[in-house]
Structure 1
Amino acid sequence: MSSGSSPPPKNRTSFISDSRRALPWYKIPHRSIPSSTMTSHLSTEERMELHQRMAQQARTKAIEAFGDRYAGYIPGSIIQTQDQADAIRALVACWTRGKWVPVTVPKQEPIKHFQDPLYGSCDNKFYKTHPRPPEEITNNTTTPWSSVNITPDMYRDAVKYVWQPACDLPVETVDPELWCRVLRGRNIALVGDLVHYQMHEILLDVLRDGPVVCYGEMSCKEHTICSKPKTTTLQYVRNDLLSPNRRVNKAQGHPSASIIDWPFVYGIVQKRNNIFIVNRAPVVEDDATFITQLIESMQVLRRTRPNALVIYRSTGIGHPYCNDAQGPLAAPLTDLERQELPYGWSEQTRRNAMAKEIVEAAGGLYLDLAALTDMRPDGHIGGQDCLRYCIPGPLDAWVQVLYNVMLGLEGQLPLPQESN
């Protein structure tokens, strides 16, 4: 199989069998959602073998494309040696492995959401029947969180869990002023799928003290997120394929509305930005095409912005029938459970592994935030949207991890070999 996987069987629609009754958050077994999964005909062992083989193929082709020019070097950071690169990547991987633990009351104030009201819909519903947090917290950011009488009924269940990584995060509380200092006036482009727009939302929530004018994920211009020590802007670009195209395919006046790929490696977006936080949507295509296209994108990005910092966010799964979920999963889904996922989500573990090899060969940093949210079937917007999350919620942990990543890349945290 030159593509690394066979075409999916047609019309895969059935009720969950007795041996695979339900995904672990289901209250009752649900009918399987039609899936275009390309490996549903393979056993777990065959899928594991395919995973290893395609990750190795991605690594081989990436080395052919980039050679060793980025060995021990992460452009846009202070990382200049192989030991440093290995240390920061190991540390980041450790921060994205762990578990969600319950707390009666959040240890620190959850993110205040100022942006798109869609992501605040869970709070709006909750506070119709529950008391809001104390006014001194919501209106006075100088009041210490620990000095206010906070009770459990003031918060939704989804925010009463904190991410406990395998390695402790060096800094648990985000300091927007320090974050702006380590950004050093470098502008950020967020390029990726519809879920990636939520990264835009939470960064604005954390680095600003109010809402911005934005007309949704299709028409979002750059926003100022830091005014000092230097002005820093943030811009989201919807490009599901992370493709290096120069212009949108208008398709004779009927462009696709399901796959969007606005240009980002040429023109104004490429010229203005020094940090690219990117991801690629779970589009169903064969593995070989995924590898070829992602390598091409990274080659063009490196050719046009050789000194840019590139961070690749792993792509997570959705959770069908998420309204059933009562809390986080105790452990990641097994491969057998992942095979019940629709929309190609069961392929994401392999695709993320392939992306990691390519991005690291191109001098980027792979950030596996999917490992956190894959274990959170709760906290979604709900209804027909079991892919995106309400804010505050599980995405608060994204902010904490990304903050520590930026500190580490700028030499603000001791790397493992430096602490001895």
Structure 2
Amino acid sequence: MGVTSPLKGQTHSRSFITKFLPYVLYALFPVALFRFYFHPFPFPLSTTDQIPHSNRIILTSSSSSPPPLSFPREEEIAYETPCNYTNGRWVHDKMGPLYNGTTCGTIKDGQNCISHGRPDLGYLYWRWQPSQCELPRFDPNTFLNLLSHKHIAFVGDSMARNQLESLLCLLATASNPNLVYTNGEDNKFRRWHFASHNVTVSVYWSPFLVRGVEKSKAGPDHNELYVDVVDERWGSDLDHLDMVVLSIGHWFLHPAVYYDGGSVLGCHYCPGLNHTEIGFYDVMRKAIKTALEAIIERKMGSGNGIDVFLTSFSPSHFEGEWDKAGACPKTEPYKEGEKMVEGMDADMRTIAVEEMEAAKVNAKQFGGLRLEILDVTKLSLMRPDGHPGPYMYPFPFANGVQEHVQNDCVHWCLPGPIDTWNQIMLQVLRRWRRGE
């Protein structure tokens, strides 16, 4: 018997493999190439390829074991955090404003600094740069599209009118505003219509938002405020308004007697009257609260909702007493850290911010109500160069330098820094439209 060798028959097999192996490899190569093309190996991302985390919030799963690769998992959703326009700095802007004092016919004469001969025009070439995001240039067509077929009202004191006229001038670069209504001394109640988009813009004079009797030569030498009753000159029109921009502050500095529930609550700077001095901070807070509550209560069941902005306090820049030849001669913005929001400016701003936050909580239970603070206190404080100053009057130095020239260091030149307020408001409207 012979022993069968374990190598017996391999000579034939080896020749078979040698003969057909190349063909097998040729056949497998395109298959492998096809697989790699459509399902590549997961190479790790480099550091520069990582998703940036600044200004982003990542909602991840609760799993304690992170995936081995840097690719975002399917359950991760990224949201851009809303831009905070409160803090920032003013930077040079070569583009300048969208309009000028000679092309917009709605500017109050006292704020038309260009036509009144202000010689330095450097104040026109600055833009607000928020600390952590960008503030896009105002787009009038976008604003008109967002407010198409709607009625927006500015309600408050002369700062509300200042902001209104800024918006009208910005929008007029894209569409013609037609004045369709005017009433009251000094055009305190007016209405415009943009036929191109069926947008209505109104202004309501209401320096306290609540019912008040303003001091006058024929009446009391102090203001009288009823802090628990909304001013019906605008409150009665709420059914016809889709958006309201509230703005108050400076009128609360004047002497006044306050009423609540029909009784005297106290007064501010009322020597000679037998009333308790209580200042104006709590009264201003109550006035804002009354106004916001009235809007919420009257619109919560209407079915068409409303958007509400509250513009925070805008500081003045008198160097010296405002009624004793005080002026605002600066020609450039303050640099970051050079001027701080403090004292009365800070207190007035805080009241507006806190009351708007409280109103947001109150409005959450109702649909269709959107509220936002328009926090412009810091960016306004940093612009001492943006007021009319002596150019509240035409060519005040045409006959030489006068010993005493009245200055306006409260309101803003148009165009000017106040245009930024409407820039920010537009960005909030765009955010709302995106559902954020």
Which structure shows the bigger proportion of residues in strand conformation? Answer: 2
Are 2:148 and 1:159 equivalent residues in the alignment? no
Shift of 1:191: 0.8
* Secondary structure class of the residue paired with 2:417: coil
Q: Which among 209, 214, 221 is matched to residue 242 of structure 1?
A: 209
Which secondary structure state, in structure 2, belongs to the residue aligned with residue 277 of structure 1? strand
Residues 156 and 315 of structure 1: CA distance in aligned 2, closer, same or farther (over 3 Å): same
Q: Deviations over 1:56-101 (max 9, x none)?
A: xxxxxxxxxxxxxxxxxxxxxxxxxxxxxxx89x625x12321101
Distance (whole Å) between structure 2 residues aligned to residue 95 and residue 358 of structure 1: 20
Select which of 223, 232, 235 maps to 1:263.
Answer: 232
Report the alpha carbon displacement of residue 271 of structure 1 after superposing the two structures with TM: 2.6
Structure-2 residue corresponding to 1:116? 107
Query: Is structure 2 residue 334 aligned with structure 1 residue 329?
Result: yes
Deviation of residue 324 (structure 1)?
2.2
Count of paired positions: 288
1:207 aligns with 2:171: yes
SS of the residue 2:113 aligns to: helix
Distance 2:149 2:109 in 1: 30
Match of 1:197 among 142, 161, 164: 161
Displacement after TM superposition at 1:323 (Å)? 3.1
Give the distance between the partners of 1:263 and 1:382, measured in 2 at CA: 34
CA distance in 2, matches of 1:375, 1:334: 7
* One-letter amino acid matched to 1:98: G
2:151 to 184, 187, 191: 187
Selected match of 2:372 from 365, 368, 378: 365
Among 138, 142, 165, the alignment partner of 1:178 is 142
Distance in structure 1 (CA, Å) of the matches to 2:284 and 2:189: 29
- Provide, for residues 216-254 of structure 1, a one-character-per-residue CA deviation record: whole Å limited to 9, x for no partner: 87534443343244x2211111212221x4x86899962
Q: Which is worse superposed, 305-314 or 257-266?
A: 257-266
- Mind listing any 5+ residue stretches in structure 2 that lack a counterpart? 1-78, 254-278, 320-326, 364-370, 391-406
Whether contact under 8 Å (2:192, 2:202) holds in the other structure is no
Alignment pair present for 1:290 and 2:284 = yes
Q: Kindly tell me: are residues 173 and 311 of structure 1, through their superposed partners in 2, closer, same or farther at Cα, counting changes over 3 Å?
A: closer
The code of the aligned residue for 2:290 comes to: E
Greater share of residues in helix = 1
Find the partner of 2:316 among 315, 318, 341: 318
Partner of 2:307: 309
Q: Match of 1:302, as an amino acid? A: I
**What TM-score, normalized to structure 1?**
0.59
- Which SS does the other structure have where 1:366 is aligned? strand
Q: Which has the larger radius of gyration?
A: 2
Moved >4 Å (runs of 4+): 210-218, 247-253, 255-262, 332-335
Letter aligned with residue 109 of structure 2: L
Instruction: Report matched runs for 1:399-414 at 5 Å.
Output: 399-411=422-434
* Alpha-carbon shift at residue 189 of structure 1 (Å): 1.3
1:113 to partner: Cα distance: 3.3
Secondary structure of residue in 2 paired with 1:289: helix
Gaps in structure 1 of 5+ consecutive residues: 1-86, 130-154, 416-420
C-alpha distance 252-215 of structure 1, shift in aligned 2 (>3 A): closer
